[in-house]
Amino acid sequence: MGKPRIGMVGYYGYGNYGDELFLEVFGKYLSAFEFVFLQDQLERPYYTTPLAKKVDSLDAILIGGGDIVIPNYWSDQYFEDAFLRKPVYIHGVGVPTWGGEDSNVVSRLAKFFRHENVRSIHVRDFESRAWIEHKLAPRIAVDFTTDIVCALDLPDPTPQIGPKIFGLVTRKQKPGEIQWQNVRALCDHAQSLGYRIRHISLGTGAVGKEDQLALAEFAYEGMELVESESIADLNLAIGECTGLASMKFHGCVVGLMFGIPAIGLITTDKFRNFYKVAGRPELVAHHSHADLASRLRDPMEPIPTTTRTRLRNDAHAGLERLKARMLKDLGTKP
């Protein structure tokens, strides 16, 4: 008898770093299942063949992770009625509340989350749980742990020869939107403290290409450029750094899990919530802050092993609960 077939629903296929890491984490914990990706293409219409027919060929649906419980926008990707034809497990999701709410969208989300076929709901921070409980009122309890990427197995960094490395991660934004003068001041300050600057294009595929094109706005003399289609290579490029600043959330998550005091360059909910749980709120910053360079101090206090172990164990426990529930529901043995 083959493995139960699980329909994977999320922001997959685009090459976004965090979402690729989600797949690695799910692959680690849910090896008893076969993953099937439901989207046919990356642009609308995302499903070019009848979705109900696809769902009927599966045993269950796994939705997550990431900020896909979007209160002000319906994406046609994540919470389609056809998914409810089978048991649904929602794991590792967040609620980006900074964009406001659309009452029609919230109503559609509530209808989905309250359905009897939604078997488990897990979010990556307390604030997301509070929003879902208050706004969507699901019939089952909402579990939460820290971000599931904290459970990822990370490589041992290669010992570095020469100056220590300050990693910089940027992302595609509207032209002129990033305050590069503050980023430049941060890099200048890092160099004055003995760092060499490494820009890490933290994405693969389409996302990686977009980020590389966006970097054309920032020509920094002597900056090392790291680009790769291998997530393992990108993980290692972060792990080799002593300091880091990232506009990408999971650049910060992976940096902290390596023990690196990673400075966040965006201040959306997920950054603030994660750094609060990690006990390092002083690392939350933004590229628009004129005092950005002052966030890099000498020395920077690394992330203690005890903190990283706590974050890892928390995420691990949530994933083990997910695995146990799916194995029980789908009639398979570990």
Picking from 129, 154, 133, the residue whose alpha carbon sits closest to that of residue 143 is: 129
**Res 199 pLDDT > 80:** yes
Q: What confidence tier does 163 reach under pLDDT thresholds 50, 70, 90?
A: very high
pLDDT attached to residue 331: 79
**Res 332 pLDDT > 80:** no
Q: Categorise residue 66: left if φ over 0, alpha if ψ from -120 to 50, beta otherwise.
A: left
Q: How large is the greatest C-alpha to C-alpha distance in the chain, in angstroms?
A: 62
Identify how many contiguous H helices and E strands the chain contains and give both numbers. 10, 11
pLDDT attached to residue 158: 83
Give the mean model confidence (pLDDT) for residues 315-325.
98
Whole-angstrom distance, CA of residue 107 vs CA of residue 128: 17
Give the mean model confidence (pLDDT) for residues 298-320.
97
**Res 291 pLDDT > 70:** yes
List strands edge to edge, sheet with 118-123: 34-37, 5-9, 60-63, 88-93, 118-123, 142-144
**Res 160 pLDDT > 90:** no
Q: Which of 7-21, 130-144, 147-161, 282-296 shows the lowest per-residue confidence on average (mean pLDDT)?
A: 147-161
Domains and CATH numbers, the chain: 5-144+312-330 (3.40.50), 164-303 (3.40.50.2000)
Q: What confidence tier does 173 reach under pLDDT thresholds 50, 70, 90?
A: confident
pLDDT attached to residue 1: 64
3-class DSSP assignment, residue 312: helix
DSSP 86: S
Q: Name 134's bridge partners.
A: none
pLDDT attached to residue 245: 98
> Phi/psi of residue 207, each to 5°?
-65, -45
Whole-angstrom distance, CA of residue 165 vs CA of residue 257: 17
Q: Name 90's bridge partners.
A: 63, 121
Whole-angstrom distance, CA of residue 255 vs CA of residue 241: 8
Picking from 124, 132, 152, the residue whose alpha carbon sits closest to that of residue 67 is: 124
The string of pLDDT tens digits covering residues 74-103 is 999 999 999 999 999 999 999 999 889 999
pTM beyond cutoff 0.75: yes
**Res 333 pLDDT > 70:** no
Average of per-residue pLDDT values in the chain: 95
Amino acid letter for position 170: T
pLDDT attached to residue 159: 81
pLDDT attached to residue 213: 87
Give the mean model confidence (pLDDT) for residues 144-162.
92
Q: Which of 36-40, 105-109, 124-128, 160-164 shows the lowest per-residue confidence on average (mean pLDDT)?
A: 160-164
